[in-house]
Amino acid sequence: MFETIFDKAKVYYQSELDLNHMKIALKMAEELTLKEGGNKKIIIPAIIMHDMGWQIFSEEEKFRIRGVGGRLENVQLRHKHEVEGAVLAEKILSEINYPEQEKALIVQIIIGHDTRTWPLSHEDMIVKDADKLSRYYPEHIDQWSIKFKKNPKDWLDYLNSQIEKWLFTDTAKFMARRYILQKKLGILNSAFEKGLSSTFYNFLIRLECEIAKLVEEHLRKIIILAAKEKAYDVKKMIELYLADLSSVDVYELQKDEEFCSIATQMVGEKGYIGIIDIESHRIVFHQDKRLLNLSEEELEVYRPSEYLHGFWEWHERAIQGEEFYSYYQGMNINKEVVDKFQYVVPLNMKNIRWAIVVTADYDDFFKPIDILNQKIVQSTNEVLSQIGIFSHLLEERTKKLEAEVIERKQAEEELKVAQNKLIQSERLAATAQIASEVAHEIRNPLAVIKAGLFYLNETIPKKDDSEDAIFKMYAAVDRASSYLSELLNFSKALVINLLHVNINEIIEQVIKEIPYKTLFSEVAIIKGFASDLPLLNADPERLKQVFVNIIKNAAESMVEVENKRLEIKTQQEENKIKITIADTGKGISEENLKHIFDPFFTTKGKGTGLGLAVCHRFIDAHKGEIRVESKVGEGTTFIIKLPI
């Protein structure tokens, strides 16, 4: 059925670029749906047909209408392609007897795909993300830069600045940053799919995503506080103005220029104050006087609902006397479709019940934030570019190591263990050197971020909530710094402080020190410690770190299984002490098992991926050995042998 829709829709795509855009958007939608979920019966047809309506315009008209950063001369013209596309979609879906419920949702998505900023549903969100992601696709970027008459560097910078505005899901934002990095550095897809360089790139893109997300989140909180303060200031001014009046005549106040200057004052460059009468549901004060005293039916005719995504929702909340803030999309005085933000506070005094609305264009409120956010993201992006240089070096070294492995496979069987140890040691040494260089490079952009936060702290009025938000941003930067500390610690020369230690006592201490509720809830711990074990000549703190990492990993792997059991055994084998740590967790795949001790390798989606690499390094420093056995669905066993 999807193929039928594709065949019917592709005739409405005029150029090869438009058709290619649709195909890549389709590919992006498949990837996003796989990771984010969603009803493919809605998502796939909506993606296939979302741009069909543009066929009624010439290429020159299309560029004028949706030029990058441009404003619309005629808002009706922009909406016309969506109406046309929705009509064509209705026709195609009806011809193939598509299910009515899905058909209605697909048409609804198409009719506001470009004009409406915020998604109607999860499926609409995936469609919007897939559409925007097609512009980030490395093989497609050059074509888009030509279409919009941008040089490639400016186009990449523009795309990078739009990630937080354009894309909704974390998956889409991650993919966008990955595609930009690929294009800037000329990296092949294979570099992101396997090997040490893959985990290295992905780790650092995750770091950039986390910084951008936290900055955006906390800066929005500060803006909300500023809007709330403005709303309460206006409320106080109105209360003082009306305090001496025995009763309030709204129509008389509408003629009072001094009161109107308070009730409709400007907010930023394009925003303003407006007031809704809660009893009549009518707008009684507004910059556009044509809206005054209109009924809801008259207001809907004057401002068509298709341009006011989110308007009626917040209007309904306002007339309920609720205090709140929200984002919505509407028209400004110039009849341009713009993103808006407002804070609403109720006012009850004398014979009136009003809702005071502080409204501003998104750009007015968020312009300073966008500038700061772009600088932070740009700094992080510069780090990624620098990392690319180091990663190329790391990849070359990895290839040389792989060549050595092939040569050494021809050696005698008894040398295999020694060869594997040598390869791992060389890989750790190479990675440690690169990690040190990278960590030092990242510290400079982090200093830029801290400077931006300092400037923000000095310029924004001191409020408890805003100070708390800035404090949390400092904490986010410190968290990024902790990543760097891990990298630097990993790169330092390893120092072992040897003492005579009892291995059973060390393991007991580790179990006691790990938070029980955090890791061992519902986990049965079975100890099988051999008595009278000889003492080891070892570094107790290093061994504790090894056992903490392994036991934490074991506990995390058992979160979703019913039979949670952790078995720890010690025994003597000739001149070695053998420690076995076995769990009943989800297990590790055969492919992942090959890379379990590789630096930066992780399957968790968080953390640095250095934990087990550090374990291997510490055990190796003790002249011991560590290996893993695992089966998916059955559990994992770590086996450590240390010389007596």
Q: If you write DSSP's letter for every residue of 135-149 in order, what string do you get?
A: HH-HHHHHHHHHHTT
Joined tokens for residue 90: 């209705």
Asked if 27 and 91 touch (Cβ cutoff 8 Å), the reply is no
pLDDT tops 90 at residue 609:
no
- pLDDT tens for 598-607 read 776 777 655 5
Same domain, 40 and 166: yes
* CA–CA separation, 222 and 471 (whole Å): 12
Is residue 359 in a domain?
Answer: yes
Joined tokens for residue 213: 């997300």
* CA–CA separation, 282 and 279 (whole Å): 8
Among the candidates 186, 202, 233, a domain finishes at 186
pLDDT recorded at residue 293:
92
pLDDT recorded at residue 72:
37
Q: Average pLDDT of the chain?
A: 79
* CA–CA separation, 643 and 576 (whole Å): 4
Among the candidates 491, 523, 545, a domain finishes at 491
Higher pLDDT, 298 or 207: 298
pTM: predicted TM-score of the whole model, two decimal places = 0.54
pLDDT recorded at residue 269:
75
pLDDT band at 427 (very low <50, low <70, confident <90, very high): low
pLDDT tops 60 at residue 33:
yes
- pLDDT tens for 504-524 read 999 999 888 876 555 566 788
CA nearest to 499, candidates 552, 537, 547: 537
Same domain, 81 and 91: yes
pLDDT recorded at residue 268:
74
Number of structural domains (the chain) is 4
In the sheet with 576-583, reading across from the earlier edge strand, the strands are 524-529, 565-573, 576-583, 635-643, 625-631
The CATH number of residue 232's host domain is 3.30.450.20
Single-letter amino acid, residue 642: L
The burial of 560, by beta-carbon neighbours within 10 Å (0-12 exposed, 13-18 middle, 19 or more buried), is given as exposed
Same domain, 118 and 250: no
The pLDDT of 175-187, averaged and rounded, is 82
| DSSP per residue, 153-219 | HHHHHHHHHHHHHH--SHHHHHHHHHHHHHHHHT--GGGGTSHHHHHHHHHHHHHHHHHHHHHHHHH
Q: What angle do CA 596, 601, 606 make, to 5 degrees?
A: 120
pLDDT recorded at residue 223:
76
pLDDT recorded at residue 69:
37
Same domain, 173 and 269: no
Same domain, 467 and 543: no
* CA–CA separation, 19 and 362 (whole Å): 32
Same domain, 530 and 400: no
The pLDDT > 70 percentage for the chain reads 73
pLDDT band at 641 (very low <50, low <70, confident <90, very high): very high
Asked if 504 and 570 touch (Cβ cutoff 8 Å), the reply is yes
Joined tokens for residue 294: 């209109």
Same domain, 46 and 173: yes
Joined tokens for residue 15: 């150029």
Higher pLDDT, 235 or 436: 235
For 127, the domain range is 2-186
The pLDDT of 573-599, averaged and rounded, is 90
Same domain, 32 and 142: yes
Contacts of residue 291, Cβ cutoff 8 Å, sequence gap at least 6? 283, 299, 302, 303
- pLDDT tens for 119-175 read 889 999 999 999 999 888 888 888 888 877 888 888 888 888 788 878 999 899 989
Same domain, 531 and 614: yes
* CA–CA separation, 516 and 522 (whole Å): 10
How far, rounded to the nearest angstrom, does the alpha carbon of residue 353 sit from its chain's CA centroid?
41
pLDDT tops 50 at residue 189:
yes
Is residue 150 in a domain?
Answer: yes
Higher pLDDT, 360 or 434: 360
pLDDT tops 90 at residue 279:
yes
Same domain, 622 and 529: yes
Higher pLDDT, 642 or 309: 642
Q: Left if phi > 0, otherwise alpha if psi is -120 to 50, otherwise beta: which for 623?
A: left
Among the candidates 364, 399, 420, a domain finishes at 364
Same domain, 6 and 104: yes
pLDDT recorded at residue 71:
37
Same domain, 83 and 36: yes
pLDDT recorded at residue 366:
58
